[in-house]
A = this chain, B = another copy of it.
């Protein structure tokens, strides 16, 4: 069985991974974009779509490819069209903390800083819209309504990270794992729709690094939830069996 999300996980490993599509197709590709209304581009007026289209280029990353690195010059921002991206930070001693997973509709480069504040890697095969930083920055200058939307998304993100911080501190690993599964399901609902089957293409290490626990603990918690009949472990994700129980484990 192939991955539940974004196609097979490693078969694209050795292929060329960057495909720039033609920059000016016959039709305005932004018009057809399935995730536009989920993303920052929703702030773009219909009359401005052509302009946006000329700014962006579609780009594809195979699984486990580097999208950009922390502290490097940020030459572009991205809008995820499909796939899963892990966002990570390195601490002084070189250890890694995953600060989040970006899903279709999510924007990479919220902070518009000269240098990237974190690293981004594709987990699965990922397609994204790429905007050169300079051009995107000019767009923001010209269009305050887009800047307002960007700010709104950024502060939502701030709220989310603050929440994540609270959760990491005060909750047990069981609560955190349960919350993680529920949160991912909620976030994916808008792309894959209502489903009990949830793709989790990231590794146990990724999940552990995100939830502030070791890989072993992450695995144990998954097994524990499965044994308790709350979830079912699939090859590349989980099925939620008993949502009520899961919610009670996450909070309560």
Contact = CB atoms under 8 A, between A and B. Distances in A.
Nearest to A89: B166
A168 B167 contact: no
B168 A117 contact: no
Nearest to A144: B144
Contacts of A183: none
Interface string A23-63: 00000000000000000000000000000000000000000
B99 A162 contact: yes
Interface stretch (A6-14, A128-136, A149-157, A220-228): A149-157
A169 B110 contact: no
**Copies of this protein chain in the complex:** 2
Contact of A155 (B89, B113, B140, B252): B113
A212 interface: yes
A171 B157 CA distance: 24
Contacts of A157: 158
Nearest to A93: B251
B251 A170 contact: no
B161 A162 contact: yes
Contacts of A140: 148
Contact of A170 (B95, B141, B155): B95
A202 interface: no
A212 B161 contact: no
B144 A111 contact: no
A168 B170 contact: no
Contact of A89 (B111, B144, B162): B162
Contacts of A147: 144, 147-148, 151
17 contacts: A89-B162, A89-B163, A92-B251, A97-B169, A111-B159, A117-B159, A117-B162, A144-B147, A151-B151, A154-B155, A154-B158, A161-B161, A164-B165, A165-B168, A168-B169, A168-B212, A170-B212
